[in-house]
Amino acid sequence: MPNQPAQPNTNQARGIITSVNGQIATIEIEGDNFPELSEILTSPEDPGVILEVFSQSRTALFAAILSSSDRLYRGMKIVGSGSDLKIPVGREVLGRVMNLFGSPKDNRGPIPGLKKTSIYSKAPSLNIVQSTYQILETGIKAIDFLTPIQRGGKVGFIGGAGVGKTILLTELMHNITLRQTEGDKPGLSKTKPVFSVFAGVGERIREGQELHQRLTESGVLPNTVIILGQMNENAAVRFRVALAAVAQAEYFRDELKSDVLFFIDNMFRYVQAGAEVATLLGTIPSEQAYQATMQTEISTLEDRLIPTASGSITSFQNVYVPADEITDAGVTAVMSVLDNAIVLSRSVAQKGIYPPIDLFQSSSSTLSKSFLGEAHFRALTQFQKLLENYDKLSHIVAIVGEEELSPENRILYNRTKKIINYLTQPFFMTEKQTGKKGEYVVKDTTVNDIGVILSGKLDNIPAEKFMYLGSLRDAKLV
């Protein structure tokens, strides 16, 4: 008997494109088989067409165009794939740069032996969430002292353009990975491997190239996977790159039982991409023209970045502040889910202080004696009291000069200024630009050094001597 022709899949959704509006295609479904939400659709006429079901009505559905819209035309046949979008995962992706679809972007050829997983997953149930009370040391004095990071926590670097968010993010990648490879994992498991996942959401193409170069030169890249959805790509792609990166982090945590450092640059572009897609769909906007589903979209992503018994995901998230307006609804929505909000100030940067952390607007949920320890808590509390007085005295100094302060206030003013200067630091990532060798300072050393300054033993040393040094001992000030 001759071979019978293959029978078509009767459960496969089928339809035709009736219109294309920007990055949204309207599809009329033929028959009763509707695809699931988030299911990938393609065309038998052009396998390069990739659509994702976004919403649907009784007779038609709206799909986000993930491939080039130039491939589409009215009347084009569309079929369902029966699956949502999947991303390659595993040790094979380490050291590689890829896009949303797992295609390599580093000119190093295809990625072999791939296992794939869905970019969508539900947040783990509460009974498997395992919070830790370990400090994740960064080697950056200002962060370790003012806003210490908890293993498995969520940290945000919040600031406008050009204040150093990306530099700070890459410095953290370098420092934590550096300590790991040297056999010291401060705040991380001593037995589990540690991997890094970087999501570039809406980044400039130049920034992606510079990041890859920095990580290659610093030796961090072999334990890192980079997923990019750059600003020249459509909003639907940019909106899903963050979810694809989260899926990578979940695989390392759950399947390889490892600790994961998750970096995203940046969360505001994620919110912005969601707003663009919502506008194309014609949904009614909410506060400040953002999509009404913004808080849900943020929470869906953030709830997946948690520590479990298998391992932890500690996330570091850059948050761009449009026009330096920190009360922007998109910024405040992201800040509401963070454990540490580290605000970077343009006015502080203009004074030559880096990292330019705003000491008054930054906050952390870890500032308790039980978490920090007695010495750190005492030094931080004492500094915060001095800082309040310093802020008041600064207004007087700006008008009449420091000489008009009382002798006691002058001592306290200069003592606070010395600590602020001490918290500056040369970075490994900027050695070529500044000509200064990067410094990693152990947290206990930072706490002890600030305790020495608070004690008054260094009152005779000018405040300028404390700028851009490592520890006081290395600078030969004690």
Label each residue of 21-35 as H, E or C. ECCEEEEEEECCCCC
Give the global pTM.
0.90
CA angle 107, 219, 309 (to 5 degrees): 100
Whether the predicted pLDDT of 2 surpasses 60: no
Whether the predicted pLDDT of 405 surpasses 80: yes
Helix (H) or strand (E) holding 118: strand 115-118
pLDDT on residue 134: 87
Domain range 14-84, CATH architecture:
Beta Barrel (2.40)
pLDDT on residue 354: 92
Look at 190-199, 273-282, 343-352, 400-409 and tell me which has the smallest mean pLDDT.
190-199
- Place 6 in a pLDDT band, splitting at 50, 70 and 90: very low
pLDDT in tens, 321-378: 998 899 999 999 999 999 999 999 999 999 999 999 999 999 998 888 988 999 999 9
What Cα–Cα distance (Å) separates residue 436 from each residue in 142, 231, 428, 442, 446? Answer: 18, 33, 8, 19, 19
pLDDT on residue 208: 86
Tell me which CATH code domain 372-466 carries.
1.10.1140.10
> Are residues 472 and 419 in contact, defined by beta-carbon separation less than 8 angstroms?
no
Whether the predicted pLDDT of 24 surpasses 60: yes
> Are residues 294 and 271 in contact, defined by beta-carbon separation less than 8 angstroms?
yes
The number of C-alpha atoms within 13 Å of 95 and in the hemisphere containing its C-beta is 12
**145: which 2 tokens?**
């002292």
CA pair distance 454, 384, nearest whole angstrom: 11
Boundaries of every domain in the chain: 14-84, 87-366, 372-466
Q: Indicate which residue of 96, 151, 165, 179 is catalytic.
A: 165
pLDDT on residue 288: 84
- Place 299 in a pLDDT band, splitting at 50, 70 and 90: very high
Q: Indicate which residue of 74, 108, 115, 204 is catalytic.
A: 204
Query: What is the average per-residue pLDDT within 51-56?
Result: 90
Cβ-Cβ contacts under 8 Å for 196 (sequence gap 6 or more): 173, 177, 220, 223, 224, 225, 260, 261, 262, 263
CA pair distance 445, 466, nearest whole angstrom: 15
Peptide bond just before 355 cis, omega within 30 deg: yes
**457: which 2 tokens?**
């033993």
CA pair distance 27, 63, nearest whole angstrom: 7
Query: What is the average per-residue pLDDT within 318-322?
Result: 94
pLDDT on residue 184: 58
The number of C-alpha atoms within 13 Å of 435 and in the hemisphere containing its C-beta is 0
Q: Is 108 a catalytic residue?
A: no
Whether the predicted pLDDT of 412 surpasses 60: yes
> Are residues 259 and 314 in contact, defined by beta-carbon separation less than 8 angstroms?
yes
CA angle 106, 112, 118 (to 5 degrees): 90
Q: Indicate which residue of 39, 137, 203, 302 is catalytic.
A: 203
> Are residues 392 and 464 in contact, defined by beta-carbon separation less than 8 angstroms?
no
By percentage, how much of the chain surpasses pLDDT 70?
94
Query: What is the average per-residue pLDDT within 24-39?
Result: 90
- Place 63 in a pLDDT band, splitting at 50, 70 and 90: very high
> Are residues 229 and 165 in contact, defined by beta-carbon separation less than 8 angstroms?
no
pLDDT on residue 477: 85
pLDDT averaged over the chain? Answer: 89
The residues with which 364 forms a beta bridge, in sequence order, are: 340
Whether the predicted pLDDT of 461 surpasses 90: yes
Cβ-Cβ contacts under 8 Å for 385 (sequence gap 6 or more): none
Q: Tell me, what amino acid is at 317? A: Q
Query: What is the average per-residue pLDDT within 102-119?
Result: 88
The dihedral built from the CA positions of residue 203, 427, 454 and 407, taken in this order, carries a sign that is negative
CA pair distance 185, 36, nearest whole angstrom: 44
Q: Is 203 a catalytic residue?
A: yes
pLDDT on residue 183: 52
Helix (H) or strand (E) holding 388: helix 374-400
Helix (H, G, I), strand (E, B) or coil at 94: coil
> Are residues 303 and 249 in contact, defined by beta-carbon separation less than 8 angstroms?
no
- Place 182 in a pLDDT band, splitting at 50, 70 and 90: low
pLDDT on residue 205: 85
pLDDT on residue 283: 86
pLDDT on residue 191: 59
DSSP label at 285? B
pLDDT on residue 178: 66
Cβ-Cβ contacts under 8 Å for 106 (sequence gap 6 or more): 96, 97, 212
DSSP label at 310? S
CA pair distance 54, 39, nearest whole angstrom: 9
Query: What is the average per-residue pLDDT within 158-166?
Result: 91
Query: What is the average per-residue pLDDT within 412-433?
Result: 93
Q: Is 408 a catalytic residue?
A: no
The residues with which 156 forms a beta bridge, in sequence order, are: 317, 341
Domain range 87-366, CATH architecture:
3-Layer(aba) Sandwich (3.40)
pLDDT in tens, 207-245: 888 888 888 888 888 989 999 998 889 999 999 999 999
Q: Which of 119, 160, 130 is nearest to 246 (CA)?
A: 119
CA pair distance 98, 437, nearest whole angstrom: 32
CA pair distance 88, 247, nearest whole angstrom: 9
